[in-house]
Amino acid sequence: MRDYLQFYINGEWVDPAQPNPHDVINPATEEVCARISLGSETDVDRAVAAAKKAFESYGRSSRQERIELLESCVATYKKYHNDIADAVREEMGAPQSLAAGGQTHAGRGHLKEALRVLRDFAFEEDLGEHRVFKEPIGVCGLITPWNWPLNQIGCKVAPALAVGCTMILKPSEEAPLSAYLFAQVMHEAGVPAGVFNLVNGDGPVVGTALSKHPDVDMMSFTGSTRAGSLVAQNAAPSVKRVTQELGGKSPNIILDDADLEAAVTQGVLHMYNNSGQSCNAPSRMLVPAARLAEAEAIAARVTESVVVGDPSAEGTTMGPVVSRLQYDRIQELIQKGIDEGARLVVGGPGHPEGLERGYFVRPTVFSGVNNDMSIAREEIFGPVLVMIPYEDEEDAIRIANDTPYGLAGYVQSGDIERARRVAARIRAGNVHINGASGGFNVPFGGFKQSGNGREWGHHGFTDFLEIKAVEGFGS
């Protein structure tokens, strides 16, 4: 069992101000796999003080110094790849192929992309005789979730390091093991003392203390819309910048000229990736009403091919969901779908056969869903797909945009011009045509209650920078 009881503050592993151990549960076994400490306001104060002091020098570091630092981070992360992958599998139940693949690669991918952008990023711009400078915003509080831990840590830490900010990371207490290893990477890579700090804890204590702290200049949060709203409220009195990547209920419009077999198959498998625990999952599949029965048959067949089981076993394609709390919420919403009259195509309540231990959920498809049902409105955050029939293209666009969220959208069509036209009318931060996915250079973020600001690539630098205009600079 792992004991990760210390915090990383000012370049050292230190004991918490007061003991407050917390058990980390392996969701595949329901057994304790590690212990961490939950921090306090005192721990946050120590970390913020360290970051504030470090900013005095790191905020003035040269581009070349930061390039060399990121090069070291990339190389060191590669050495820890297998250890991080094992931690992800253990803390959140990701199958080994996903843990060692997309989950772990994401952290290094964002470091490499920030390094690429930094080499040529324009920190200065001349407007006639005046000069505009882009300067690091200062001390940043970073709160990250459990579902894609390295992706969210990487897409916040990497640009912050690149532009000259200092930071305090609070990872999710549900999946903190990979973050602990990420801190070891930062230490071994030679990140200066106080530039990167890690304090474990829960949202009500550590998250609130960071959000309210007068010496924190910016909060970057990824998580639920409810929690993001609280971060913003806590940050408001100090007028700090707040950026948020929040929930989603993303539409997947399959137009009547799409290859139905390929489009439904792709959409179903995407929905089950990471056990459905992705904020941009294509959870609402919009299908032409005349072809709904055909689409249901394809979805059922694809769902039955999914191998749910032990994340460490070869051939497993879907592991458990992260926690008992998450499992119970998914079960409640599956039952609500049945109670509200949706047609259960495959799956349903309870554990998959033979998997009574662990937080395993049956991959589930509902059909005949209307957009007013709870399972069409609420973010389930599990392997539950809803199929909604539509009458024509205008009806599909109306249904797609009838949501408080706007993180992602998907359009499938045999006519690229038609797909582009429909994509232009989807109110979401990322729209994918015919299964295309963006790289680490493509901005990620949402409209409406899915958040504000953008992460990833060149656009990800922006929120970590302040703009200073010096008039008469060239006179």
Residue ranges of domains in the chain, CATH in brackets:
2-246+450-470 (3.40.605.10), 251-439 (3.40.309.10)
- Cα–Cα distances (Å) from 454 to 179, 311, 460, in that order, read 22, 32, 6
- The active-site residue, picked from 113, 174, 245, 296, is 245
Q: What is the pLDDT of residue 474?
A: 85
Chain-wide mean pLDDT for the chain?
A: 97
Q: What is the pLDDT of residue 438?
A: 87
**245 included as an active-site residue:** yes
The mean per-residue pLDDT over the stretch 173-177 comes to 97
- The active-site residue, picked from 73, 155, 165, 279, is 279
Q: What is the pLDDT of residue 432?
A: 98
**β-strand partners of 432:** 410
Q: What is the pLDDT of residue 259?
A: 98
- Percentage of the residues of the chain whose pLDDT score is greater than 90: 99
The mean per-residue pLDDT over the stretch 71-94 comes to 98
56 has a pLDDT exceeding 80: yes
- Give the pair of three-digit tokens for residue 427: 């109110």
449 has a pLDDT exceeding 80: yes
Q: What is the pLDDT of residue 319?
A: 98
The residue with tokens 């970390």 is 47
Question: Phi/psi at 126 (nearest 5 deg)?
Answer: -95, 130
Whole-structure pTM value: 0.97
pLDDT in tens, 203-246: 999 999 999 999 999 999 999 999 999 999 999 999 999 999 99
Closest CA to 254 of 447, 414, 430: 414
Gap between the Cα atoms of 207 and 199, Å rounded: 10
Our measurement of the distance from residue 317's CA atom to the centroid of its chain's CA atoms, rounded to an integer in Å, reads 20
389 has a pLDDT exceeding 80: yes
**165 included as an active-site residue:** no
475 has a pLDDT exceeding 80: no
